[in-house]
Amino acid sequence: MQVNLKVNGTEHSDDVEPRVLLVDFLRSNLRLTGTHIGCDTSSCGACTVLLNGEPVKSCTMLAVQAEGANITTVEGLAAGGAMAPIQAGFHEEHGLQCGFCTPGMMLVGEALLERNPSPSEEEIRWAISGNICRCTGYMNIVKAIQHAAAAKQAAAKAPSHAAAVAGGQ
């Protein structure tokens, strides 16, 4: 059947079997391979995408359930080689090692900061408690999100400076 949805700002219309998982649609049909598959019991969060701004497990959704929705994947965080504050935060704070959980972590962080611009460490750990990482022990992921929070706060306070900071130099 036909499914129509927006992914990273671009409209897509495709014919899919109802049983096709959203994660497979993104990875195979749209060739957006930044969203990863880490398990088969909806337990790990590696497949996290933003659905209308909220983080969800794309392996636990059918593509057809995303009819009319706005999906953001890691590829939609920034254009070209530029970096969004969340990506810069992960880079600056060494918030990634193998990188497999990273897209999911960044999207959750991004959504959190939209809702709560200055989260406590506890709030950050709770927000990412649906995303498993085996490499980092989470310490630097927390710092990465805190780094992004600070950068976004600074940008909000000083718009002219914001362009330089948000560009992630």
Partner 1 sequence: MATVHMHGGIGESIKRKEDARFLHGKGNYIDDLVLPGMLHMAILRSPHAHARIKSIDTSAAAAKPGVIAVVTGELMAQHKLAWMPTLSCDTQAVLATDKVRFQGQEVAAVIAESKYQAEDARDLIVVDYDILPAVTSPDAAKAEGAALIRDDKDGQKDNHIYHWESGDKDKTQAAFKNAAKVVRLHTFYPRCHPAPMETCGCVADVDSVTGKATIHMTSQAPHAIRTVFALVTGLPEQNIRIISPDIGGGFGNKVPVYPGYVVATAASLLIGRPVKWIEDRTENLISTGFARDFHMTGDLALDENGKMLALRVHLDSDNGAFFADAQPTKFKAGLFHIVTGSYDIPTAHVTADGYYTNKAPGGVAYRCSFRVTEASYLIERLVTNAALEIGMDQADFRKKNFIRPEQFPYTSATGWVYDSGQYSKAMDVALNQLGYDELKKDVERRRKNGEVTGIGIASFTEVVGAGHGADFDILGLRMFDSAELRVHPTGKAMLRMGTKSQGQGHETTFAQIVAEELGIPAADVAVEEGDTDTAPYGLGTYASRSTPVAGAATAMVSRKLRDKARKIAAHLLEAAEEDLEWERGKFYVKGSPNRAKTIQEIVFAAYTNLPEGMEAGFEGVHYYDPPNMTYPFGTYAVVVDIDKGTGQVKVRRMVAVDDCGVRINPMIVEGQIHGGLTEGFGIAFMELITFDDEGNCIGSNFMDYLLPTAWESPKFELGETVTPSPHHPLGAKGVGESPTVGSPAAYVNAVIDALSPYGVTNIDMPVTSDKVWTALRGAGVTE
Partner 2 sequence: MFPAAFDYRAPASLADALDILSDRGDEAKVMAGGQSLIPLLKLRFSQPALVVDIGRLPDLGGVRRDDGHLRIGALTRHVDIERSDELRSMLPILPEAAHWIADPLVRNRGTLGGSICHADPSGDWGSVMLALDAELVAQSKKGDRTIRAADFFEGPFTTALRPDEILTEIRIPLAKGHAGGAYNKLERKVGDFATVAVATYVELNGGKVAKAGIGMTSVGDKNLKAAAAEKALVGREATDEVIAEAARQAAAAAEPKADIRGSVEYKKDVVRVFVQRGLKAAVARAKEGR
Site of interaction with partner 1 (CB under 8 A): 17, 19-20, 27, 31-41, 43-44, 46, 73-75, 77-78, 81, 83, 87, 90-92, 94, 96-103, 106, 124-126, 128-142, 168-169
Helices (H) and strands (E) in the chain, counts: 6, 5
**Among positive and negative, which fits the CA dihedral 122, 41, 77, 8?**
negative
Site residue total, partner 2 (CB under 8 A): 33
108 binds partner 2 (CB under 8 A): yes
Q: What count of Cα atoms within 13 Å lies in the side-chain half-sphere of residue 32?
A: 22
Q: Which is nearer to partner 2, 45 or 168 (CB)?
A: 45
Residue 21, helix vs strand vs coil:
strand
Q: Site mask, partner 2, residues 53-92, x = CB under 8 A?
A: -xxxx-xxxx-xx-xx------------------------
Q: Which is nearer to partner 2, 115 or 161 (CB)?
A: 115
29 binds partner 2 (CB under 8 A): no
Considering CB distances under 5 to 8 angstroms, the limit depending on partner class, which of partner 2, partner 1, none binds residue 92?
partner 1
**Among positive and negative, which fits the CA dihedral 120, 43, 104, 134?**
positive
Write the single-letter amino acid at 20.
Answer: V
DSSP 117-152: SS--HHHHHHHTTTS--SSSTTHHHHHHHHHHHHHH
* Token digits of residue 1: 């059947």
Which spans of this chain sit near partner 2 (rule: CB under 8 A)?
A: 1, 17-21, 24, 40-43, 45, 48, 51, 54-57, 59-62, 64-65, 67-68, 108, 126-131
